[in-house]
Chain A
Amino acid sequence: MDRATGITLRILRGHADLIILAVLILIVLPLMLDIFRLNLVGKYLTYAFVAVGIVLCWGYGGILSLGQGVFFGLGGYCMAMFLKLEASDPASTSIQSTPGIPDFMDWNQLTELPWFWEPFHSFAFTLFAVLAVPGILAFVVGLAMFKRRVGGVYFAIITQAVAAILSILIIGQQGYTGGVNGITDLKTLLGWDIRTDSARYALYFLNGALLLTVLVVARLIIGSKFGKLLVALRDREDRVRFSGYDVSNFKIFIFVVAAMMAAVGGAMFTLQVGFMSPSFVGVGPSIDMVVFAAVGGRMSPVGAVYGSLLVNWARTAFSESFPELWLLAMGAIFIGVVMLFPNGLAGMVDGMKGGFIRSTARLGGPTGASRGAPVPDQWPVGRPRAPTACERGALEPGGSVSVTGPSDHDLADRQGSLAH
């Protein structure tokens, strides 16, 4: 029994950040806020799904996508199509020239439902499509890019192009997509009115539970060998490739995972906010979502949730008082965070927790010892940091000669080798 409680305690301590977040989302916020504000928080939290995916993709895998809004939007549109069909039954659309199809189609002189709308009569298909449509698109884009070893800035630009294309397509095809207004006037989900307060509470909690599930999934991925490989291929792609891994498959997988996470967020957005429009698909919102992840800390999925909450709360607070200044303020937040706290909020919290210990360890003592490993006194491991590639290159073949402050006999040794 005692051993079991010990293990439980250890698990709890290892995941304290997740538990605190769960308490905040599922207990504290619902008790503190009225349903209007809580619904707003729920909306912010749908962006957090995207931000968590960006942390995995960008923070860990080094793949910067500036088009995650595409997947958020596709997930949201899939859900909106189902809800719209349910809201467009022949009885409530009897004044249209073609009753039984969504109103915007009628306004655009469509007389029958387009073929790709048909399957969205089925809720099961819709749930499947919410994950599958963005997942397949991400797979195709990933396959085309990563197999050809397109990466870095080029990949970011291409994802932006995809975002631009999709939003233009949606706006242009008004009769099929609702155009710039998006899909609006959503009423019920399987007969359950989603506009009531009780439905909003239920959806908020469903959203929170899904987000926590996504965070657990993220944690499992990060903790696995796959997670370490992600970091490895971010830092040294060639080394991973020449260790026998087909690097592109790993990138495609994490990109698809991030896309599916974003899609769940999009579907929950549609349910909680009651519409979906191209303004969540394009380049602008996609970049906003990267900012959420950067503010929260690009190596911390939990941080990304706080980042989304904070930036969006600031956006709401700011734009209520100074609407035209918001964009400037957001830019300032982003620049400030990146310059002062490259690891975002999560980095700040870590810094406060471990700052003292780490700084003493880095200045004097060997870091190895502080991590609990015995250090042979022969090798200087208490270095401030590893030299960067260019420093190393500049010092070749002497390697890390003087930056490191090695012990005297080691220095003498190295000078010997240089003279030699």
Chain B
Amino acid sequence: MDKRIVLAVEDLGVTFDGFKAVDGVNLYVEQDEMRVVIGPNGAGKTTLLDLICGRTRASSGSIRFLDRELTQIPEYRRVRLGVGRKFQNPSIYESLTVLENLEVSYPRGRTVFGSLAFKRTPEVLQRIEEVAAMVYLGDLLQVAAETLSHGQMQWLEIGMLLMQEPQLLMLDEPVAGMSVSERQATAELLQRICKGRSVVVIEHDMDFVRSIAHRVTVLHQGKVLAEGSMAKVQADPRVVEVYLGH
């Protein structure tokens, strides 16, 4: 393989009261790759992202990111290493403006005193404008985030992650609640941002998955059921059974 592995998840597992939500998962994501994780409800997709970003502690296995073991590192340090996570419901700061939302996500002034001394320099503003334009919010910088449409909130959250220039970007259902045209715009956005980094997306909308995925991983009952190109995965009888069998 020529491209380096950014994320290497090996034998990862977590148990909630005896229930194995994620069970022996292996996952390797390369640089510049867009990986989509699909699977029926309760397959452990969101839990997998939670484990990688540190929201949930793993019971077993390892998560290596750029050759660093993440499992024992607190979540804010994982972010500083370059792991970004977008939540399923748009998670933005409603009472701040779009500009302030992006500014707060700027990766400087992250300590208490650093944030007290932080200044909105032209350099910061330029970066904010750049990212805002990328996520189609360039004209809405002064707008209160609570007045954005649902789709725009999703974009804003992606923009907040881009501010941090993560090496690994994990998006949980980024097009939920979006119109067709918004979905298309999001697909284009994702294709642009996966250059120079790796992106892991959870998604249900198969048309959308087809339009963005480089490779697809199918999870079922906490385990990897199949992995490969969309065409290969769709032809896999086990996948067909999981999706249509019940």
Contact = CB atoms under 8 A, between A and B. Distances in A.
Interface residues of A, number: 56
Interface in B81-117: 84-85, 87, 89-96, 100, 103-105, 107, 109-112, 115-117
B148 interface: yes
A392 B150 contact: yes
B2 interface: no
A125 interface: no
A373 B142 contact: yes
Contacts, number: 156
A242, A247, A249, A397 pick with most chain B CB within 10 angstroms: A242
A246 B181 CA distance: 38
Contacts of A375: 139-140, 143
Contacts of B80: 244
Contacts of B147: 367-368, 381-383, 385-386
A397 B176 contact: yes
B179 A414 contact: yes
B150 A225 contact: no
B243 interface: no
Contact of A249 (B55, B105, B111): B111
Contact of B180 (A380, A398, A416): A416
B110 A244 contact: yes
A260 to B, nearest CB: 15
B179 A413 contact: yes
Contacts of B176: 396-397, 399
Interface in A350-406: 367-368, 371-376, 379-383, 385-387, 389, 392-393, 395-400, 404, 406
A253 interface: yes
Contacts of A242: 53, 55, 75-76, 79, 84-85, 87
B146 interface: yes
* Range, interface on chain B: 35 or more
A399 B103 contact: no
Given A228-B104, A229-B115, A416-B179, A404 B142 contact: no
A232 B144 CA distance: 13
Interface stretch (A5-13, A188-196, A233-241, A314-322): A233-241
Given A226-B116, A235-B95, 5 more contacts: A229-B115, A381-B149, A382-B147, A386-B145, A393-B89
Interface of A: 221, 224-226, 228-229, 231-232, 235-236, 238-247, 249-250, 253, 367-368, 371-376, 379-383, 385-387, 389, 392-393, 395-400, 404, 406, 410, 413-414, 416-417, 420
23 contacts: A226-B112, A229-B104, A231-B93, A239-B93, A239-B157, A243-B160, A243-B164, A244-B107, A245-B76, A367-B144, A368-B139, A368-B147, A375-B143, A381-B149, A383-B147, A386-B153, A393-B89, A396-B176, A399-B151, A399-B178, A400-B150, A414-B179, A420-B180
9 tightest A-B contacts by CB? A399-B177, A399-B150, A244-B79, A225-B118, A386-B146, A413-B179, A226-B115, A400-B150, A368-B143
